[in-house]
Amino acid sequence: MAHVFCFSFPLFLSKKCLQLTSASKPKPCSWTFPPHAKPQAKRLLLGMLLWLLQTPVSITMSQGTARLQCHFKDVSANFDNTVIHWYQQKENREPVRMLYISSGTTTVENNFQRNRYMVQNLSNQKICILIIKNIGPDDAATYYCTLCTVSGYYYKVFGTGTKLIVSDKGNSKPENSEILQTKHKDQLLYVCLIENFYPEVIRVQWVDEANKEVTKNVIKGDVWKSTNDKYSVSTWLTLPGNTTNKNYYCKYDHETINITFQPSKCILTKICTKIILTEVCT
């Protein structure tokens, strides 16, 4: 099977074909900037976002109890005294604070049922867990852990988010994932293609041999609906053509699986103004 990708070098790709144009970069839906935040604060906040990594990226369930984890990095050793907030953001609405925990005491906001929410801190691992009991349709939302900090002025750092999908549909892991590559003039181009998964929530990264995220010359595409109510996504990495002594990997987190994989032996073959991903793997 061949996948057709439209393109125009150096780095402009048809959104319809590959979903990888600059305009198709994901909007900053995984965090919210403080009101009237200065540009410097926004840049700093994005850098600090790595403090709060939430897992899993999504949870699909129709009933029962959900457990959402927030992993803190580079936080002070006195984790037990860190004030942690949890926010709920429903679709097309602003985030609303549900509760916060301070010195081991959890305070739930009046608009939320106290008996349905618990917070558990694993101090030695610097993990905060939000527990939601008796899941119902009204719980469908994205949940964010939040850390308040001061750097000349007060602002909040939001985590990467966990989406709670209230449904009995279940989930399905990607049916196919691969890295395809080509060399064009003085550039080495990689496409990470992940196909046919559900739900649509997925976190994709390029990493180097040290498992450090690569962000330079990376274009992340939107998730698109492929077939049978499943979704696919692609991301593009451009490197200098003389990059031969380094290995890069595509890493993704989905609620069904977490995996890191290397480029395959598949190649990109240029035909006219299109790139056809020709499978020559053995």
Q: So what's the pLDDT on residue 77?
A: 63
CATH 3.30.360.10, domain 39-160, yes or no: no
User: pTM for this one?
Assistant: 0.74
Who's near 136: CB < 8 A, 6+ residues apart?
63, 166
Supply the pLDDT for residue 154: 64
pLDDT score of 213 more than 60 = yes
What per-residue confidence (pLDDT) applies to 228? 79
The pLDDT > 70 percentage for the chain reads: 70
**Average pLDDT over every residue of 139-160:** 81
For residue 154, list its beta bridge partners. Answer: 150
Q: What is the pLDDT of residues 267-277, one digit of tens each?
A: 443 322 233 33
What integer pLDDT is reported at residue 114 of this predicted model? 92
Q: Is pLDDT above 50 for 34?
A: no
Distance CA 205, CA 197 (A): 17
Q: Mean pLDDT across the stretch 195-209?
A: 94
**Per-residue model confidence as pLDDT tens digits over 78-88:** 777 788 999 99
**Topology of the domain covering 3-26+170-278:** Immunoglobulin-like (2.60.40)
141 band by pLDDT with thresholds 50, 70 and 90: very high
pLDDT at 175: 93
Domain boundaries for CATH 2.60.40.10 within the chain: 3-26+170-278, 39-160
Rg (CA), the chain: 21
For the stretch 84-121, pLDDT in tens is 999 999 999 999 999 999 888 999 999 999 999 999 99
For position 231, what pLDDT does the model report? 96
